[in-house]
Amino acid sequence: MNFNARGAWAIYKSELSRAWRAFFQTILSPVLTTSLYFIVFGAAIGGRIEQAGGVPYGAFIIPGLLLLTLLTETTTNASFGIFMPRFTGSIYELLSAPVGVAETLIGFVGAAATKSLIISTIILATATLFVDYTIIHPLWAICFIVMTAAAFALFGFIIGVWAEGFERLQIIPLVVLTPLTFLGGTFYSIEMLAEPWRTVALFNPVVYLVNGLRWTFYGTSDVDIAVSAGLTGLFLALCTGIIAWIFRTGWKLRS
């Protein structure tokens, strides 16, 4: 046996069923929150704001809002996925089963990414109720969303292995991801910023993610789209490398 496909499928299925069980928390709540943003910023206030980045403000904020939810939800979901077995003690089963890094990642990260794609789809569908928008590069948009979801699911997995308690588990999405996304050009084009803040913003990696996704939607971007794609790929590779190291050394998983 070289690859335990049934094992990977078992993890994937059980993770999705966990999400389904907590439907309100994992699916409905992020959709509801994002809808509120659409109503407040897109429909209510957006009508009084001029165009941003060449598109109506309501449409302009959609990619950023989608990413805000995508990053925090994917990270949280994936980190809970691996943290809960560690917390309850059921991790013994994973460690004693014929599953390795590939099966574990496909199971946990795949499920977290899948949940994010479901959430993204619902959010984009909901957005059409409040704002008029079209996606000019739909295929690229899907690629970009899938890649981002995968990267942050890996990132969440690392946090779930690293965290010793619930506080640490929540701290990265709350204290790092949310501020970076808010400041990452979700609600504004960084062209609107005065120096030195415009240069400072370029050091925020989320700026590249938001602009990358915005380009797939509207064809406009504050930064070079190749840099966006490259950074996302780099982050994906970095997380994969860290996880490979975790499995090789058994860090925090095997004593």
Partner 1 sequence: MASPDATLHGVESILDIKGLTKIYPDGLKALDDVDLEVRRGEIFALLGPNGAGKTTLIGAVCGMVRPTNGTIHAFGHDTARDWRSARAKIGLVPQELGFDIFETVQRSVAFSRGLFGCPPDPARLEEILRSLSLWDKRDSQIRHLSGGMKRRVLIAKALAHDPELLFLDEPTAGVDVELRRDMWRLIEELRDGGTTIILTTHYIDEAEEMADRVGVIQDGRLLLVEEKHALIARMGRVEALFRLASPLAAIPPELATYPLSLTEGGTRLCYRGSGREADGEVAALVQAMVGAGVLFTSLDIHESSLEDVFVDLMESAR
Which spans of this chain sit near partner 1 (rule: CB under 8 A)?
Answer: 1-2, 4-7, 9-11, 13-14, 17-18, 21, 84-85, 88-100, 250, 254-255
How many other C-beta atoms lie within 10 A of the C-beta of residue 167?
Answer: 9
**Closer residue to partner 1, CB minimum distance, 57 or 80:** 80
**Closer residue to partner 1, CB minimum distance, 14 or 199:** 14
**Closer residue to partner 1, CB minimum distance, 17 or 121:** 17
220, 53 contact by CB (below 8 A): yes
Q: Which two tokens stand for residue 13?
A: 């299925």
Question: In this structure, which long-range contacts are made by residues 206-209, counting pairs with CB atoms below 8 Å and at least 24 apart in sequence?
Answer: 206/67, 206/71, 206/177, 206/180, 206/181, 208/232, 209/67, 209/71, 209/148, 209/184
65, 186 contact by CB (below 8 A): yes
**Closer residue to partner 1, CB minimum distance, 13 or 198:** 13
Q: Tokens 């199971």: give the residue.
A: 107
* Residue 19, CA distances (Å) to 76, 108, 119, 223 in order: 12, 12, 11, 36
205, 231 contact by CB (below 8 A): yes
Closest distance between partner 1 and the C-beta of residue 169, in Å?
17
DSSP at 187: S
Closest distance between partner 1 and the C-beta of residue 88, in Å?
5
Closest distance between partner 1 and the C-beta of residue 238, in Å?
25
Closest distance between partner 1 and the C-beta of residue 166, in Å?
16
Distance of CA 254 to the CA centre of its chain: 28
**Closer residue to partner 1, CB minimum distance, 5 or 43:** 5
Closest distance between partner 1 and the C-beta of residue 20, in Å?
11
**Closer residue to partner 1, CB minimum distance, 199 or 249:** 249
Closest distance between partner 1 and the C-beta of residue 93, in Å?
6
Closest distance between partner 1 and the C-beta of residue 252, in Å?
12
* Residue 96, CA distances (Å) to 99, 100, 157, 171 in order: 8, 10, 19, 30
232, 213 contact by CB (below 8 A): no
**Closer residue to partner 1, CB minimum distance, 51 or 90:** 90
